[in-house]
Amino acid sequence: MGWLPRFVLPRTLREQGIVGMNARNARFIAQYNHRRFYPRVDDKLETKRLALDAGLSVPELYGVVRSHHEIRKLERLLRAYPDGFVIKPAHGAAGDGILVITGWRGDRLRRASGRTMEMSELHDHCSNILSGMYSLGGRPDVAMVEQRVRFSSAFDQITYRGVPDIRTVVYRGYPVMAMMRLPTQDSDGKANLHQGAVGTGIDLASGRTIGGVQHNRPIWEHPDTEHSIVGLEIPGWNELMQLASGCYELSKLGYLGVDVVIDQDRGPLILELNARPGLAIQIANGEGLESRLLAVDAHLVGRDGTEPPEQRARWAAGVFARHEATQAAPADAASATPAAQDADSTEIERR
Amino acid sequence: MRRFHLPILIVLLSTIGLGIFAYKVIALDMPVMPGASAETWQVEARVRYQPTGGAANVQLRIPDRLPNFAILDEGFVSRGYGLNTLRGQDDRIAQWTTRQPRGEQVLYYRATLYRDSDDRSDADYPGPVGAPEWTEPYRSAADALIEDVRSRSSDIQTFASVLVNDLAHAAPASNAAVFADDGSDRVQRSQTLIELLATARIPARMVTTLHLRDGRRDIRPETWIEVHNTRRWVPIHPLSGEIEYPDDVVVWAHGSAPLLEVSNGRDAEVRFAVSRGVQDALTTAQRFGETVNAQLMEFSTLNLPLGTQNTYRVLLMVPLGAMIIVFLRNVIGVQTFGTFMPVLIALSFRETQLLAGIILFTLIVSLGLAVRFYLEHLRLLLVPRLAAVVSVVIMLMLGISILSHQLGFERALALSLFPMVILAMTIERMSVVWEEHGPSDAITQGIGSLAVAAAAYGLMANRHLEHLLFVFPELLLVLLAMTLLLGRYTGYRLSELFRFGRMQEAMQPSRRSEDR
């Protein structure tokens, strides 16, 4: 039954305020996202530079590889980081081409999956990045080496391999909706909802999770660890909201997706920005975006958009609060004890 | 104003497009259906005479404006003659002149006619005519006959047909019999009728017609009379009283003057031969357009060189395919590789036909994918890898062609026209999607691309649509208007109704009331 496609009338969706792909493109993206600002989010190096200038937290940048002959000098640079690092393309999309190294084993590198690799393989990976294998349209790219995020242990019990990240949709500077994406065995450690990752809605006021969805079906426990995913508190939530609001100033994009990870030492860090955030966030929250976007529009009437990010984050937290949803665990959801975690399964691997 | 900008543009484009289209269809008779054929008649007048010495001058009366037929094309064939066409009162006169004809002379005039319902003949009322001078006993007989006929008719037309019938079935010793003693010779009877009608002040004239029958080599011209009823000339058969010409009768010349006059010649005769031709209605309309000298025809796709025409037959279908893509992507929500790749794939299906195309495409893409994954092991850079994939794709195509030729599938040979680069790009894209988003996504998008391409092909290969767009390229404006209209569609996609349908059980009670 659950796998059968279920049809719904457009009128129902309209009543629920679900924003469709066409409406998103025509009414929000075309209106508030000017093309000339896209490079600010498409180029992660640029995003990082702008974020540092604005004083927003991002993973630390160790170095940049811009040309093939710089690859040879790479090893000297990387030796300085025994705890590992991340290599990623500046123009990659959706986590493509990201290599996570957790440390060294002699001359070999240990990957997040536990396998080791030769330095030469890492050289190959870099030259693939440089020749544009992961960038849109195959344009030449640069490789960034940055700090490996040690994500907060708050989510150990609801993660299966990979990094849970938090996607917030920021509309004209106001966070309007957020979800946490939890990788599963099904999604092969990727945080992509339609590959089977779990998405949970988040109450913007408390930063607690609402029940989630997997494959568009509501669930209340993580499918792999059987741990409840309702009512979990995300550490540093207020900071995260301010961070997301602040991304509006640096990107100048009115319809923006902000991806944040929680580092156990540094708190929320901006991973990347997205000029075309999808609509799965509505499914994760079980609510349409439309009414929230209209609420922001109404709030901005008569204001010239001079509210600072902190104030915007506070306003959004107040208006879009959904306390009741964070406690309403359904009766049939058995609260299971978390299964013992394999040490390796909590490793970061975003590929 | 901004709100109405787009609607106004859409209405304007559609109106212009449909307006030109309607004009071409209605006024120029351009065929809406492909391969519609018009019946045309080739009429050939063959003039023969024996010269009697000295300069010869041949005058043949030829049609100018015909009721119910149009002249598409005409030609004069002669050797060593100078040719002039003079304009007579209702007809034209072809005048051949030569200085020293020797031996039997043969001249030809050929015309291609086709039926149309326009009456292009001159219909001005010439006014009442003067009564002819009858001598007794004819005068009193004519007066009595006309009185009698007038009492049994209601207007000019019925008067004329009653009169014809009276003469045709004249009882002996009646007034009509006085005039019906010509042994039913059509020319003489026509003369008599015209004189009798003139006595009643009714203008009438003699007309030479040809009865078109296919393959006849020797058609005798037949005489009809036309009576003017103050609005138009009404044709009446002089013996049977039948009104209006049958469909296969064409008026050749007006008046009682002979068709052919030859000076310095003897035994002159003109013979008519008729053959029926079926011409493509398009050519017919086009030539007709040229003869009525429509400016529009000057700027027609039909005047391009043939090779270019065939290219445009294909090219003009691309906007249609593009519109289908817009519809399928934005209204239905089918996932495809890239935006216009399916159109290009559909274009390549034109060479191979649909089923063979889909099979070949699937075959080559899957083989190419396998090769691409093998190349992955060699860790090549992007551009060399693409180049290698292209080479391998071409070798695969060659292999498939040779193999299928050996096995006797000629269909697969058409593959050589398959755009290889498109295949290579498809393979590359598909493999990237495969790696990044897993095989299910890659296969979904692949099948989506193929399905969209098949739909686009189904429309683009439609002969009827191809003909419409080629003959009436102004319909592209209408297509453009429809695309603009689709471009403003911000409603849900069909696929979203299913996508969000599954989450209905997870929906929270709506809180819109508090937000407003």
Give the CA dihedral A166, A172, A176, A177, nearest 10 degrees. Answer: -30
pLDDT digits (tens, 9 = 90+) for A201-235: 999 999 999 888 888 778 888 888 888 888 888 98
All residues of chain B having their beta carbon less than 8 Å from the beta carbon of residue A174 are none
Compute the nearest-CA separation of A105 from chain B (Å).
24
All residues of chain B having their beta carbon less than 8 Å from the beta carbon of residue A218 are 503, 505-506
pLDDT digits (tens, 9 = 90+) for A14-62: 888 888 888 898 888 988 998 888 888 888 899 999 999 988 999 999 9
Highest-pLDDT range among A174-188, A326-340, B19-33, B247-261 = A174-188
d(CA A91, CA A271): 13
Query: How much is the pLDDT for B15?
Result: 92
Give the CA dihedral A321, A327, A331, A337, nearest 10 degrees. Answer: 130
All residues of chain A having their beta carbon less than 8 Å from the beta carbon of residue B511 are 287, 291, 322
d(CA A272, CA A93): 10
Query: How much is the pLDDT for B16?
Result: 92
All residues of chain B having their beta carbon less than 8 Å from the beta carbon of residue A133 are 381-382
Q: Which of B339, B500, B511, B513 to mutate to test the interface with A (most CBs of A within 10 A)?
A: B500
d(CA A39, CA B483): 30
All residues of chain B having their beta carbon less than 8 Å from the beta carbon of residue A139 are none
What's the mean pLDDT in B312-327? 85
Nearest CB among A7, A23, A124 relative to B498 is that of A7
Which residue of A lies nearest to B503 if distances are taken between CA atoms? A216
Beta bridge partners of B45: B109, B272
All residues of chain A having their beta carbon less than 8 Å from the beta carbon of residue B499 are 216, 283
For residue A225, how many other CB atoms are within 10 A of its CB?
23
Residue appearing with tokens 């123009």? A91
Inter-chain CB proximity A291 and B516 less than 8 Å: yes
Which residue of B lies nearest to A125 if distances are taken between CA atoms? B379
Inter-chain CB proximity A22 and B506 less than 8 Å: no
Residue by residue, pLDDT tens for chain A (351 residues) are: 445 567 788 888 888 888 888 889 888 898 899 888 888 888 889 999 999 998 899 999 999 998 888 888 888 888 888 888 889 898 876 667 788 888 888 888 888 777 888 888 888 888 888 887 777 666 778 899 999 888 877 777 887 777 788 999 999 999 999 999 988 887 777 777 777 888 899 999 999 998 888 887 788 888 888 888 888 889 889 999 999 999 999 899 999 999 999 988 889 999 889 888 878 888 888 888 999 999 999 998 877 767 898 999 999 999 998 877 666 444 333 333 333 333 333 333 333
Inter-chain CB proximity B379 and A124 less than 8 Å: yes
Which residue of B lies nearest to A126 if distances are taken between CA atoms? B381
Compute the nearest-CA separation of B404 from chain A (Å).
35
Q: Which long-range contacts (CB under 8 A, 24 or more apart) does B327-333 make?
A: B327/B486, B328/B452, B328/B455, B329/B452, B330/A22, B330/B486, B330/B489, B330/B493, B331/B486, B331/B489, B331/B493, B331/B494, B332/B493, B332/B494, B332/B495, B333/A21, B333/B493, B333/B494, B333/B495, B333/B496
What's the mean pLDDT in B278-304? 63
Which residue of A lies nearest to B437 if distances are taken between CA atoms? A195
List, in sequence order, the alpha helices (H) in A55-146: 74-79, 119-130
Nearest CB among A7, A94, A325 relative to B436 is that of A94
Inter-chain CB proximity B382 and A138 less than 8 Å: yes
Q: Which of A3, A12, A16, A126 to mutate to test the interface with B (most CBs of B within 10 A)?
A: A16
Inter-chain CB proximity A291 and B515 less than 8 Å: yes
Query: How much is the pLDDT for A11?
Result: 84
d(CA A266, CA B257): 113
Inter-chain CB proximity A128 and B501 less than 8 Å: no
